[in-house]
C-alpha cells in the first residue's frame, strides 16, 4: 500500500479510501488484510488480471496513435552514387506520401552497423549478404556503353561495337563489371589504351555527360540521364548482366516496424517504375 501511495503521489490514507470506494462499487473485497501484510482475494486476483490487460492494450494503442500522428525521424543510409543518381531525385515523393517522416539521408559507402547508431534502413549495392541484418533485393542491374549525345559524331560515328576501339573509355574503379569483360562478351579484342578512372559510378557518368569518353553505364544509375537526353546508349542491346544488385537492408526482426514497412513499400514501387522505364 505504501509503495502504491508513493508511485501515485498520494497519501497512504487516500489510497486506502480509493480502494474502499472501489470495493463498495464492486460489492466484493479485493484485499485480505492479515496481521502484517495484505494479499489479493480471489476477486482481487481476477480483477487485477483484467485491469493489467486493459492497461497494456491502452498503452499499445496510445503508442500506435502517437506514432501515426507524430513526425518520425527516418534515417536512411545510402551509397554515394545511388544517392546522387537515383534516390535523391525521388525523395520528394516519399516526403509527399509520408508527411509524418522527417527524412535524414546519410550518404556513405561504408557498411552500417545496425547495433550502433540510429539508422533505420540501408540501401546497398552488393551480393545480398550483410552480417546482423536482413536484405531484400530491390533491383538487379546491367551495364552498357553510354556517352554524351554529340560524342559519336566527334569520332565519325559509332555504328558498330567494333567502333569502340576509337573511344576513350571511362572506368569505374573496383567494379566487377569491367570494360575488359564487356569486350570479351562482344567477342572483340580489348583495346589497351589510356582512359579515365573514377572511384564512384556517378563520377564516371558525369564524365561521360561532359563528353570525355564512353562509360560503362550501370542501368539503375543512368535511367534518368538517358530519359532526359543527357546520355545516349549507342548500342542499347549490348547489355552485360552484373552479379551484384541493390538491396533494401534493415536490422533483423524489424520487418514489421511501421517505418521499415512504409519505406520498403515505397522503394519497391519506385524500383518497379524505374525498371519499367529502363
**What CATH number has the domain bearing residue 65?**
1.10.10.10
One domain for residues 49 and 16: yes
One domain for residues 124 and 249: yes
One domain for residues 35 and 162: no
Domain that holds residue 13: 2-69
Last residue of a domain, one of 20, 54, 69: 69
Average pLDDT rounded to a whole number, residues 115-133: 87
One domain for residues 145 and 222: yes
Of 211, 225, 216, 228, which is closest to residue 151 (Cα–Cα)? 211
The per-residue pLDDT for 64 is: 61
One domain for residues 217 and 166: yes
Of 151, 78, 129, 141, which is closest to residue 275 (Cα–Cα)? 141
One domain for residues 23 and 8: yes
Strand order across the 196-198 sheet: 101-107, 72-78, 121-126, 240-251, 133-146, 214-218, 169-172, 196-198
* Residues in the chain, total: 278
Work out the pLDDT band at 13, boundaries 50, 70, 90. Answer: confident
What tens digit of pLDDT does each residue of 135-194 get?
999 999 999 999 999 999 999 999 999 999 889 999 999 888 899 999 999 999 998 777
Host H or E run for residue 46:
helix 42-69
Cα 95 to Cα 60: distance, rounded to the nearest angstrom: 26
> Based on the structure, what is the number of domains in the chain?
3
Last residue of a domain, one of 43, 69, 95: 69
Host H or E run for residue 229:
none
First-residue to last-residue Cα distance in the chain: 70
Cα 192 to Cα 180: distance, rounded to the nearest angstrom: 9
Last residue of a domain, one of 69, 88, 122: 69
One domain for residues 254 and 188: no
Per DSSP (E only), the strands in the chain are: 31-33, 38-40, 72-78, 101-107, 121-126, 133-146, 169-172, 196-198, 214-218, 240-251
The per-residue pLDDT for 130 is: 86
Q: Assign residue 197 the CATH number of its domain.
A: 3.40.190.10
What tens digit of pLDDT does each residue of 62-110 get?
766 655 554 588 999 999 999 999 999 999 999 999 998 999 999 999 8
Amino acid at each position: 500500500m505504501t509503495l502504491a501511495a508513493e508511485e501515485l503521489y498520494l497519501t497512504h490514507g487516500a489510497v486506502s479510501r480509493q480502494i474502499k470506494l472501489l470495493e463498495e462499487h464492486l460489492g466484493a473485497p479485493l484485499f485480505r488484510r492479515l496481521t502484517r501484510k495484505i494479499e489479493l482475494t480471489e476477486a482481487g486476483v481476477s480483477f487485477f488480471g483484467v485491469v493489467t490487460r486493459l492497461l497494456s492494450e491502452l498503452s499499445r494503442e496510445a503508442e500506435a496513435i502517437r506514432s501515426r500522428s507524430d513526425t518520425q525521424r527516418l534515417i536512411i543510409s545510402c551509397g554515394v552514387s545511388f544517392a546522387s543518381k537515383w534516390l535523391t531525385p525521388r525523395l520528394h515523393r516519399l516526403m509527399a506520401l509520408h508527411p509524418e517522416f522527417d527524412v535524414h539521408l546519410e550518404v556513405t559507402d561504408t557498411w552500417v552497423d545496425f547495433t550502433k547508431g540510429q539508422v533505420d534502413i540501408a540501401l546497398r549495392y552488393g551480393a545480398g549478404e550483410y552480417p546482423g541484418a536482413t536484405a531484400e533485393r530491390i533491383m538487379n542491374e546491367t551495364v552498357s556503353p553510354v556517352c554524351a549525345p554529340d560524342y559519336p559524331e566527334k569520332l565519325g560515328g559509332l555504328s558498330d561495337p567494333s567502333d569502340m576501339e576509337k573511344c576513350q573509355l571511362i572506368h569505374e574503379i573496383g567494379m566487377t563489371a569491367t570494360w575488359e569483360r564487356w569486350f570479351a562478351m562482344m567477342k572483340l579484342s580489348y583495346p589497351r589504351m589510356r582512359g579515365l578512372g573514377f572511384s564512384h559510378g556517378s563520377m564516371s557518368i558525369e564524365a561521360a555527360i561532359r563528353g570525355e569518353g564512353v562509360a560503362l553505364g550501370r542501368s539503375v544509375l543512368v535511367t534518368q540521364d538517358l530519359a532526359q537526353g543527357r546520355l545516349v546508349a549507342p548500342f542499347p542491346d549490348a547489355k552485360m548482366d552484373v552479379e551484384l544488385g541493390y538491396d533494401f537492408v534493415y536490422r533483423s526482426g524489424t520487418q514489421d516496424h511501421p517505418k521499415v514497412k512504409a519505406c520498403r513499400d515505397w522503394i519497391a514501387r519506385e524500383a518497379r517504375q524505374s525498371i519499367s522505364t529502363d
